[in-house]
C-alpha cells in the first residue's frame, strides 16, 4: 500500500540548499572571472579516483555554477516559482506540457514514487537481471513480488520474455535503457513491438538516465509515444550528463493521469532554490552538454581500444561506464583497486566476473588502465 507522505519543509529546504552551495563552492572559485562562456578544462588527477557511481567527471556547466552563485536572497524563500519554471523548461525541451512533468530528488525518487503508486501486495514488478536495483528494492517495501528476467546472451533486455511475464497482476515493468550495469540498449523498433504486448493496466517505466551517451543508430527516446501509450512513463536525471549528481534532481515524463497519481508519493517541497536555478541554466547550455558527451564518449572509445589491445573481453557500451570480463570473481579486484585509490563499481551477483568502471577523465582512465595491467595482466597482448 502507498506510504503516507511526510513533509519536512524547513529542514529539507535548508539542508538541500546548503549541500548544493557546498558542492558548487570549489568550482565557483575556479571559474570566477571566466564568465559563462568558459571552456571546460580537464580536472587535475585527484588523490582518489572515483570510477564507481557513473558521475560526470567534468561537473556542471559553468552557467549552472554561475546560477548557483547568484541564487542569493532567493535561498530565503520557498522556490515555488522556480519549481514551476523548471517544469515549464522541461516541458518545452521535450515537447510536452507542464502537467506531464514531475520533479524528484534525483530520478530515484521518481522510481520510488512509481513503485508506491502502482505496486502493492499481490502485484508483481517485472525487470531485467541485472539492472538498476532501486525499483526492485522499493517493490519489496511495497510488498510486491519481483520477477527477474535474465538478460540475453549479448547482455541486453529480453523484451519478449519480459512481456510474456506481465499479467493482469503486474503493476509495473521496468526497462533501463541504456541498462545499468551493462551499458547495452534496446532499440526503438524493439520497444515498439514490446509496448503493445504489455497489459494496458501495467505501467511501463523506461529509465533514460543515460540517454545522452547512446550513439547506437537504433536508439531513441520514447517520450513522443506517451500520448499514444498513457501507461508509459520516462525517467530522466540531472545527475549524469548535466554533472549534478551531488545536487539531486530528476524528473518523470508521463500522461497527465500518471503524473497526477504519482504526486501523492513525492516528498512535498522536494526541490531547493539553488538546484532549480542550476537546472534551468543547464537546460539552456546545450553546447557544454554536447562537449561533455563528446569528451566522455571519446574516452570510452579509447578505453575500448586499450582493452582490445590487451585481448580483454568487455561489453560494448552506450553509457558512461563499461563492464569488463575479468574471468574471475571481481570482489578481490575491486579491493585491489581501492588499495590503489581507485574506486570502481560494485560486484553484481548475477555477473560476478564483470567489473563495472565509470568513464572518468582521460587522465583518470589512463591511470585505471595502468593499474588494471598490474592487477590483472592482459591474457593476450596484441602488437600496437
Residue spans per domain, the chain: 9-38+62-284, 287-375
Q: In what order do the strands lie in the sheet with 321-325?
A: 313-315, 321-325, 354-358
Q: Confidence band (pLDDT; 50, 70, 90) for 8? A: very low
Q: Is 164 helix (H, G, I), strand (E, B) or coil?
A: helix
Asked if domains 9-38+62-284 and 287-375 share a fold, the reply is no
pLDDT in tens, 223-233: 999 999 999 99
Residue with more model confidence, 269 or 94: 94
The CATH code for residues 9-38+62-284 is: 3.40.640.10
Best-predicted range by mean pLDDT among 73-87, 259-273, 303-317?
Answer: 303-317
Say whether 303 sits in a helix, a strand or coil.
Answer: helix
Give first-to-last CA distance, the chain, whole Å: 59
- The confidence score (pLDDT) of residue 68 equals 85
Q: What is the pLDDT of residue 17?
A: 37
Which whole number is the average pLDDT over 80-94? 93
Planar angle of CA 163, 260, 187, nearest 5 degrees? 30
The CATH number of domain 287-375 is 3.40.50.1860: no
Average pLDDT for 134-144: 94
pLDDT in tens, 40-64: 555 567 789 999 999 999 999 999 9
Tell me: the pLDDT tens digits for 178-234?
A: 999 999 999 999 999 999 999 999 999 999 999 999 999 999 999 999 999 999 999
Best CA proximity match to 329, nearest among 316, 306, 344, 348: 348
DSSP 131: S
Higher-scoring residue by pLDDT: 109, 13: 109
Per-residue confidence (pLDDT) for residue 41, from 0 to 100: 53
Q: Which DSSP symbol is given to 239?
A: S
**Is 344 within 8 Å of 356 (Cβ atoms)?**
yes
Q: What is the pTM of this model?
A: 0.86
CB environment 17-28: b (16+ within 10 A), e (fewer): bebbbebbeebe
pLDDT for 25 equals 39
CB under 8 A, 24+ apart: contacts of 43-47:
43/361, 45/361, 45/363, 45/364, 45/367, 46/364, 47/341
329 CB contacts (<8 Å, ≥6 apart)? 347, 352, 353
> Is residue 24 very low, low, confident or very high in pLDDT (cuts 50, 70, 90)?
very low
Amino acid at each position: 500500500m502507498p506510504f503516507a507522505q511526510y513533509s519536512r519543509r524547513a529542514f529539507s529546504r535548508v539542508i538541500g540548499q546548503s549541500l548544493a552551495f557546498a558542492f558548487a563552492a570549489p568550482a565557483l572559485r575556479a571559474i570566477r572571472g571566466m564568465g559563462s562562456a568558459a571552456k571546460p578544462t580537464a580536472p587535475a588527477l585527484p588523490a582518489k579516483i572515483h570510477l564507481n557511481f557513473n558521475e560526470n567527471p567534468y561537473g556542471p556547466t559553468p552557467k549552472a555554477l554561475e546560477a548557483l552563485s547568484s541564487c542569493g536572497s532567493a535561498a530565503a524563500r520557498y522556490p515555488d516559482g522556480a519549481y514551476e519554471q523548471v517544469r515549464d523548461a522541461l516541458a518545452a525541451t521535450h515537447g510536452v506540457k507542464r502537467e506531464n512533468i514531475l520533479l524528484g530528488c534525483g530520478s530515484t525518487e521518481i522510481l520510488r514514487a512509481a513503485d508506491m503508486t502502482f505496486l502493492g501486495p499481490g502485484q508483481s514488478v517485472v525487470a531485467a537481471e541485472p539492472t538498476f536495483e532501486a525499483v526492485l528494492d522499493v517493490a519489496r517495501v511495497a510488498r510486491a513480488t519481483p520477477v527477474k528476467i535474465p538478460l540475453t546472451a549479448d547482455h541486453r533486455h529480453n523484451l519478449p520474455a519480459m512481456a510474456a511475464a506481465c499479467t493482469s497482476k503486474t503493476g509495473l515493468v521496468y526497462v533501463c535503457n541504456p541498462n545499468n550495469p551493462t551499458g547495452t540498449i534496446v532499440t526503438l523498433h524493439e520497444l515498439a513491438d514490446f509496448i503493445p504486448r504489455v497489459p494496458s493496466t501495467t505501467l511501463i517505466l523506461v529509465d533514460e538516465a543515460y540517454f545522452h551517451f547512446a550513439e547506437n543508430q537504433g536508439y531513441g527516446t520514447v517520450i513522443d509515444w506517451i500520448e499514444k501509450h498513457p501507461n508509459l512513463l520516462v525517467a530522466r536525471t540531472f545527475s549524469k550528463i548535466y554533472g549534478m549528481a551531488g545536487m539531486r534532481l530528476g524528473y518523470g515524463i508521463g500522461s497527465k493521469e500518471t503524473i497526477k497519481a504519482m504526486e501523492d508519493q513525492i516528498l512535498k517541497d522536494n526541490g531547493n532554490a539553488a538546484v532549480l536555478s542550476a537546472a534551468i541554466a543547464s537546460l539552456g547550455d546545450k553546447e557544454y552538454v554536447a562537449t561533455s558527451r563528446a569528451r566522455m564518449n571519446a574516452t570510452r572509445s579509447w578505453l575500448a581500444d586499450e582493452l582490445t589491445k590487451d585481448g580483454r573481453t568487455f561489453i560494448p557500451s552506450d553509457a558512461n561506464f563499461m563492464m569488463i570480463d575479468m574471468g574471475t570473481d571481481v570482489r578481490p579486484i575491486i579491493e585491489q583497486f581501492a588499495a590503489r585509490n581507485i574506486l570502481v563499481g560494485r560486484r553484481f551477483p548475477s555477473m560476478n566476473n564483470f567489473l563495472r568502471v565509470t568513464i572518468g577523465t582521460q587522465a583518470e582512465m589512463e591511470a585505471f588502465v595502468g593499474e588494471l595491467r598490474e592487477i590483472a595482466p592482459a591474457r593476450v597482448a596484441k602488437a600496437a
